[in-house]
Structure 1
Amino acid sequence: MVSEYNRAIRHLAGGSMARIPLVTSRDQILEKDKPAYDAFMQSRGGRPNVGPYSLLAHMPEMAQRLEALRLYLRDEASLPQKLQELVMISVAAEMGCAFIWYAHAAPARKAGVRDDVVDNIREKRVPTNLDPVEQTVVDFTRELLQTRKVSRATFEAATARFGQRGTMTLTNLIACYAVLAYNMNTYELEAPAHPTEKALP
């Protein structure tokens, strides 16, 4: 993911590609918010603000809390990395969020999501020949985002495969990335062209 951030910042630094200016400097932060901004940047290990955080840094305390939730969920062992990436590209496609797709399509492939699955999700086609665990993740994500709830059958399948903790992780990972997508969609944050991945249609 570091390479994705580095690639993104080369495209995004120095100009606004959204409805409001992107935060690229501490000088853009209100004086009263600078301690929270400093803490937020420290928590990110000095990584540049790209994607949603170039927007959310206008409210750095909120950004820090959301990032803490995101990192907590990403470190949660009850949902393996491959399935987390499958969630994120599914959220990107369902919500039409170009930047989440930009940031996670290639990592999803590297994590073991098959090429045809990534391509079908991008085109909003139903992926075929998924293993039962992948099918559960895709069904759960799509149902939650499309209908705002999950059917009993899908919930029971998730609970059987991931347990109570894994199902809660799955639910909140979807919700966390949906929040990021809502922000990027609201402010029309553009995604740079990816060197290997097609953009969302």
Structure 2
Amino acid sequence: MSPRFRSLDRDELDDERRRVFDEIGRPRGGAVPAPFHIYVESPELASLVQAVGAFCRYRTGLAPRLSELAILTTAAHWKADYEFAVHAGEARKAGVPEHEIEALASGRRPDFDDEDAALVHDFAARFYRDNDVPDALFEAALARFGRRTVAELVGVLGYYSMLAIALRIFRVPTPEKAD
């Protein structure tokens, strides 16, 4: 399969795309992650995607380890190797045990160390498998996290699915293979 991804050169961008490129890179020391090289082609979309991503990544009611677990479950579902590779490192930093990361990478349900992690994974995995979440699982998530955080979990699943789809369609190589 031929590559479709192209890494943007900041100096070759028009003013509008350069402004958004810089806005995305600013909190990252100038680094612009691969998915945003795709979205900067549409500056308004890139700006909106960045705003939703900042919320989903840093401001939900989910503990960082649970958020990263939801992201890894999403990346594994979509077979988005770039997303999985990037977030495996973030998951380790957030306290997701290595055996859970390895199980997800191999397509297996991990043996979870805690009930919250199992609940987040099972919620996401059942949705991806069945295009629905059974009532009992939905009610368990509501009882544990509350309606607001369940809505935010759904947002995390949707946001990272959107990125995974873009990464797959544009055939973005894993970070160690990227240019």
Confirm or deny a common fold (TM above 0.5): yes
1:141-152, aligned counterparts within 5 Å?
141-152=124-135
Counterpart of 1:143, as a letter, is: R
Extract structure 1 runs of 4+ deviating beyond 4 A.
none
Report the 3-state secondary structure (helix = DSSP H, G, I; strand = E; otherwise coil) of the residue aligned with 1:189.
Answer: coil
Select 2:85's aligned residue among 93, 99, 102.
Answer: 102
The runs of 5 or more residues in structure 2 that have no matched partner are: none
Question: Aligned pair in 2 of structure 1 residues 26, 140: CA closer, same or farther (>3 Å)?
Answer: farther
Which residue, out of 66, 73, 76, partners 1:90? 73
The number of residues matched between the two structures is: 174
**Aligned counterparts of 2:24 and 2:32: Cα–Cα separation in 1:** 12
1:41 counterpart residue number: 22
* Partner in structure 1 of residue 159 of structure 2: 176
Matched, 1:23 2:8: yes
- CA separation in 2, counterparts of 1:18 and 1:52? 14
The letter for the 1-side match of 2:78 is: M
In structure 1, C-alpha distance between the alignment counterparts of 2:160 and 2:20, rounded to whole Å: 22
- Alignment partner, residue 131 of structure 1: 114
Q: 1:188 to 1:75 in 2, by over 3 A?
A: same
The TM-score, its normalising length taken from structure 1, stands at: 0.79
Aligned 8 A contact 1:91 1:177 in 2: yes
Indicate the SS of the match to 1:113.
coil
Letter matched to residue 175 of structure 1 = G
Share of identical aligned residues, percent? Answer: 26
Cα distance in 1 for partners of 2:31, 2:44 equals 17
Report the CA distance between 1:80 and its aligned residue. 0.9
On the 8 A contact 2:73/2:124 being kept in 1, the answer is yes
Residue 193 in 1 paired to residue 176 in 2?
yes
CA distance in 2, matches of 1:108, 1:21: 27
What TM-score does the superposition give when structure 2 sets the normalisation length?
0.88
Task: Give the aligned residue type for 1:190.
Answer: P
Structure with higher helix content: 2
Q: CA deviation at 1:28?
A: 3.8
C-alpha RMSD of matched pairs (Å): 1.9
TM-superposition CA deviations, 1:116-137 (whole Å, max 9, x none): 1111011011211442111110
Cα distance in 2 for partners of 1:93, 1:126 equals 11
Following superposition, the deviation at residue 26 of structure 1 comes to 4.2
CA shift, 1:64, in A, is 0.9
- Per the TM alignment, residue 71 of structure 1 is displaced from its structure 2 partner at its CA by 0.4
Aligned to 1:62: 45
Greater mean alpha carbon deviation, residues 175-184 or residues 86-95: 86-95
Is contact 1:92–1:98 with CA below 8 Å preserved after alignment? yes
